[in-house]
């Protein structure tokens, strides 16, 4: 081969190798670019509306430990209140023990989980709120971190500061599964949600483990009694009326943890045959009949009272939580606004198609970045290709200040990264990307939950 031809081939090969190396690097490392930093800065400035959390009244925040210094929140509490324990062991805090006793075992818990999103999403909370790198900290630094967490939870000022200032959340929809029909508002940023999960079990009063979950108890408190299926349905309507009166903005169900999401349109006659009988007298098929019948009535009440219906999909009983199982019910209830939670993980593509085909469906990425950051980034991009940008939302889905902050930062980063990649590929302008990010973090919730606008407080101070 002539020398000049050989040299030309070598140069072409070198150019090809350089482009091959540079292409993936630019795509995979978008966070190092000025484009990403500008988009991220813009999204961080958005006063977010968090569509889903389980933040209890301050004194009831769970996972407090009994330590040698008394009962309080600890470094262990922060991890125990996250979803980390779902995938990897977390050593318990020995009753009355010091931090050093727990840490001697606890610090070894994380070695096999370093790459998981359930582990990594919490790291920004320690870095940003406490200035500590959890992955490299010494035992002394870990002890000091624990002491600072313990001190911060002596009152609710830290919680308020982290959520409203550091996480920059203006409103938070709080799902009170521990007191479903009380509609408490203990935080100025808190917005009530009507959790309807237990309502489907109203075939008999004994079905309810707690009076706080029982429409029968609600009826008695209102001076009424449930003796028939009509009485039961009237009570559900009364609960919805109370929810609207207290500015609750939506419904929420987590039935996917208990049963299939396939809800058949059961005739009233079959539900009436079940009503009034205890669980021990019923077959699984009869119980499903009643639950299915009530679920369809809840869809009707959702439309009647203008309360969108948040439904947990995916990552529950995975053999029955695919959001595709809801499609017939969604199609038959076009006036009901359905919000499919968690992006249907792992069925994020199927969830997008449902929203594409049905204009009464919104997709909520709540919890998805914590489940799988990579899938969440991909989902944002795919969903934006399948549906208008005004039908995607987000939520933190956790229980204390550090977890809420971490989930919010994780989501803002993931969303900014997904949008920056679209701009980098020429699919969006930077201005369009920032507008979409603002929609997902705030504006879409204001548009869907129509009473939220009168509950805003931060922007008017």
Map out the domains of the chain as residue ranges: 1-32, 62-152, 157-460
Q: Which two tokens stand for residue 93?
A: 């805090």
DSSP state at residue 129: I
Which pLDDT value is given to residue 413?
98
Which pLDDT value is given to residue 2?
53
- CATH architecture for residues 157-460: Alpha-Beta Barrel (3.20)
183 Rama sector, left if φ>0, alpha if ψ -120 to 50, beta otherwise: left
Secondary structure (3-state) at 364:
strand
Which pLDDT value is given to residue 19?
36
How many other C-beta atoms are found inside a 10 Å radius of the C-beta of residue 382?
A: 18
Which pLDDT value is given to residue 16?
38
DSSP state at residue 162: I
Whether the model clears a pTM of 0.75, i.e. scores above it, the answer is yes
Question: What per-residue string of b and e applies to 395-412 under the rule 16 or more CB within 10 Å gives b?
Answer: bbbbbbbbbbbbbbbbbb
Which pLDDT value is given to residue 1?
53
Smallest Cα–Cα separation from 405: which of 172, 57, 59?
Answer: 172
Give the tens place of pLDDT for each residue, 403-437: 999 999 999 999 999 999 999 999 999 999 999 99
Q: Which helix (H) or strand (E) holds 341?
A: strand 338-341
Q: What is the pLDDT along the chain (461 residues), one digit of tens a residue?
A: 555 545 454 454 443 333 334 443 444 689 999 999 999 999 999 999 999 999 999 999 999 999 999 999 999 999 999 999 999 999 999 999 999 999 999 999 999 999 999 999 999 999 999 999 999 999 999 999 999 999 999 999 999 999 999 999 999 999 999 999 999 899 999 999 999 999 999 999 999 999 989 999 999 999 999 999 999 999 999 999 999 999 999 999 999 999 999 999 999 999 999 999 999 999 999 999 999 999 999 999 999 999 999 999 999 999 999 999 999 999 999 999 999 999 999 999 999 999 999 999 999 999 999 999 999 999 999 999 999 999 999 999 999 999 999 999 999 999 999 999 999 999 999 999 999 999 999 999 999 999 999 999 986 54
* Structural contact between residues 102 and 139, judged by C-beta atoms closer than 8 angstroms: no
Which pLDDT value is given to residue 350?
98
Tally helices (H) and strands (E) across the chain: 20, 11
Smallest Cα–Cα separation from 369: which of 186, 120, 180, 91?
Answer: 120
* Structural contact between residues 114 and 108, judged by C-beta atoms closer than 8 angstroms: no
∠ CA 188-191-195, rounded to 5°? 145
């Amino acid at each position: 081969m002539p020398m000049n031809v050989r040299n030309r081939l070598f140069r072409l090969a070198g150019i090809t190798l350089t482009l091959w190396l540079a292409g993936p690097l630019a795509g995979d490392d978008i966070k190092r670019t000025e484009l990403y930093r500008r988009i991220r800065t813009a999204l961080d400035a958005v006063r977010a509306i968090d569509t889903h959390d389980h933040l209890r009244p301050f004194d009831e925040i769970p996972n407090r430990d009994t330590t040698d210094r008394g009962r309080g929140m600890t470094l262990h509490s922060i991890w125990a209140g996250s979803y980390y324990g779902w995938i990897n062991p977390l050593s318990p805090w020995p009753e009355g023990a010091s931090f050093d006793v727990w840490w001697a075992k606890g610090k070894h818990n994380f070695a096999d989980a370093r790459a998981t999103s359930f582990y990594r999403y919490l790291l920004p909370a320690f870095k940003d709120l406490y200035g500590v790198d959890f992955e490299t900290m010494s035992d002394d630094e870990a002890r000091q971190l624990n002491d600072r967490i313990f001190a911060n939870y002596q009152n609710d000022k830290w919680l308020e500061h982290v959520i409203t200032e550091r996480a920059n959340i203006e409103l938070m929809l709080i799902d009170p599964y521990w007191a479903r029909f009380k509609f408490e508002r203990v935080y100025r940023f808190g917005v009530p949600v009507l959790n309807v999960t237990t309502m489907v079990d109203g075939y008999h009063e004994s079905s309810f483990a707690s009076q706080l979950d029982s429409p029968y108890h609600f009826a008695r408190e209102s001076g009424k009694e449930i003796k028939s299926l009509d009485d039961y349905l009237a009570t559900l309507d009364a609960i919805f009326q109370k929810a609207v009166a207290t500015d609750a903005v939506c419904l929420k169900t987590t039935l996917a943890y208990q049963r299939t999401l396939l809800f058949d349109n059961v005739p009233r006659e079959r539900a009436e045959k079940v009503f009034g009988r205890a669980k021990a007298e019923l077959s699984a098929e009869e119980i499903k009949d009643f639950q299915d019948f009530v679920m369809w009535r809840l869809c009707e009440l959702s439309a009647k009272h203008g309360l969108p219906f948040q439904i947990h999909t995916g990552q529950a009983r995975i053999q029955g939580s695919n959001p595709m199982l809801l499609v017939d019910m969604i199609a038959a209830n076009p006036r009901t606004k359905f919000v499919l939670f968690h992006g249907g993980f792992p069925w994020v593509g199927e969830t997008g198609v449902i929203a594409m085909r049905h204009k009464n469906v919104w997709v909520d990425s709540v919890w998805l970045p914590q489940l799988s950051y990579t899938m969440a980034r991909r989902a944002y991009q795919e969903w934006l290709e399948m549906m208008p940008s005004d039908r995607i939302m987000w939520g933190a889905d956790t229980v204390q200040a550090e977890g809420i902050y971490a989930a919010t930062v994780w989501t803002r980063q993931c969303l900014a990264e997904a949008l920056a990649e679209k701009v980098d590929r020429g699919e969006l302008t930077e201005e369009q990307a920032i507008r979409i990010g603002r929609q997902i973090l705030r504006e879409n919730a204001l548009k869907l939950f129509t009473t939220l606008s009168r509950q805003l407080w931060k922007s008017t101070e």
